[in-house]
Amino acid sequence: MRYLLDTSALLAHHRQESGWEAVQALFEADEAEIIMACISLTEFGRRLRDLGAPETVVQETLANYQLLCTEVAPVDAATALAAFAIGCRTPRRLPLVDALIAAVAQAKGAVLVHRDAHMRAIPAELLQFNDLGTVS
């Protein structure tokens, strides 16, 4: 099975916050194909910096998570247009980064693993979700 880890899932795993065990189980599952959207590298890195991590630690953390993933998926024109469509079909405001990550999951046929309130607003018929819980 394919899983795309949203930045919120990566952060939960890294910080061992609520839901991190489910992400760890995916990393350990032989049959799991773990995907990260390329833009999560930026979003995850920026969040780590906001939390006080020095740039060298951020770079090392990002490199380590890339190694844990089967693929770091790019955002191309088709994915960008799919993100627009997802945003149009979502009843509440969906930040651009979240729409792009959701579109990558949709394009890859992957279950979107997240703990992001914005993702909960995406209609279930657009893609599969694994919601790790609430982030404050």
Is pLDDT above 60 for 136?
no
Q: What is the dihedral of CA 40, 113, 104, 50, to 10 degrees?
A: -20
pLDDT at 24: 97
Give all strands (DSSP E) within the chain, no chain letters: 2-5, 33-37, 71-73, 111-114, 129-131
Instruction: Calculate what percentage of the chain has a pLDDT beyond 90.
Output: 93
Longest dimension (CA), the chain: 41
**Beta bridge partners of residue 35, listed in sequence order:** 4, 71
Structure confidence by residue, pLDDT tens digits, 34-89? 999 999 999 999 999 999 999 999 999 999 999 999 999 999 999 999 999 999 99
CATH code for the part of the protein at 2-131: 3.40.50.1010
At 134, the pLDDT band (50, 70, 90 cuts) reads low
- At 3-15, the pLDDT tens digits run 999 999 999 999 9
Measure CA 69 to chain center: 12
